[in-house]
A and B are shown apart, each in its own frame.
Chain A
Amino acid sequence: NAGVTQTPKFRVLKTGQSMTLLCAQDMNHEYMYWYRQDPGMGLRLIHYSVGEGTTAKGEVPDGYNVSRLKKQNFLLGLESAAPSQTSVYFCAARLRTAEAFFGQGTRLTVV
């Protein structure tokens, strides 16, 4: 039982390039989240989803897009990467009113 799996684990992008981060969960959880964590800081919510086909903006959504076509997958897209998007990205999944399970993170560097 893998829980929450993030792909890739590391990536270096050039400014202006695009990429998609994949979050996959095998727990059949309804809610999924994308966060970013910058050095010495807490997690900031980018986007989240309360079910298949639905997404909503979090605290820092600008520059990112998301899709949840299947319940088990939540994709985070960067259309035109900027150095300010250098961060560690975490995905989480949870049942309603329960604790969240996190992936191990994707370390993204934009040069």
Chain B
Amino acid sequence: SQQGEEDPQALSIQEGENATMNCSYKTSINNLQWYRQNSGRGLVHLILIRSNEREKHSGRLRVTLDTSKKSSSLLITASRAADTASYFCATDGNTGGFKTIFGAGTRLFVKA
């Protein structure tokens, strides 16, 4: 089974609201990454957080990491219609040579 699992599977919000997505994983990691995918396109990297970091910001994005709970969250503040996409977390285990494993993703729909 996959290392990362996102929650919720789908999220629908109004423009201007905040969106929170969660990711849980099973084994120890070197880092955790969040990616975005617009329909039918390749993935675009959003943010990487290392195992010794607890929080990271990038523009309207805030990522937290709790290694004791093996979980991470991605917060998008003041969402826009253009944020509509699927969001995936990916983990690099600390064994196995950077075998990057993705979760199933959260589909975010932001209504204008």
Q: Which residue of B lies closest to A103 (CB)?
A: B42
Residue-by-residue, is B24-49 near A (CB-CB < 8 Å gives 1, otherwise 0)? Answer: 00000011010100001111110010
> Which residues of the other chain, B, contact A58 by a CB distance below 8 angstroms?
99
| B interface secondary structure, majority | strand
Instruction: List the one stretch of B63-71, B74-82, B100-108 in contact with chain A.
Output: B100-108
Q: Which residue of B lies closest to A41 (CB)?
A: B104
Residues A101 and B45 in contact, CB atoms below 8 Å apart: yes
Residue-by-residue, is A84-111 near B (CB-CB < 8 Å gives 1, otherwise 0)? Answer: 0000001010101111111111000000
Count contacts on B: residues with CB < 8 A to the other chain: 27
Residues A96 and B42 in contact, CB atoms below 8 Å apart: no
Residue-by-residue, is B77-112 near A (CB-CB < 8 Å gives 1, otherwise 0)? Answer: 000000000001010100001111111110000000
Residues A99 and B45 in contact, CB atoms below 8 Å apart: yes
| A interface secondary structure, majority | strand
> Which residues of the other chain, B, contact A43 by a CB distance below 8 angstroms?
43, 88, 102
Q: Which residues of A contact B (CB under 8 A)?
A: 4, 31, 33, 35, 41-45, 48, 50, 56, 58-59, 90, 92, 94, 96-105
Q: Which residues of B contact A (CB under 8 A)?
A: 2, 4, 6, 30-31, 33, 35, 40-45, 48, 50, 88, 90, 92, 97-105
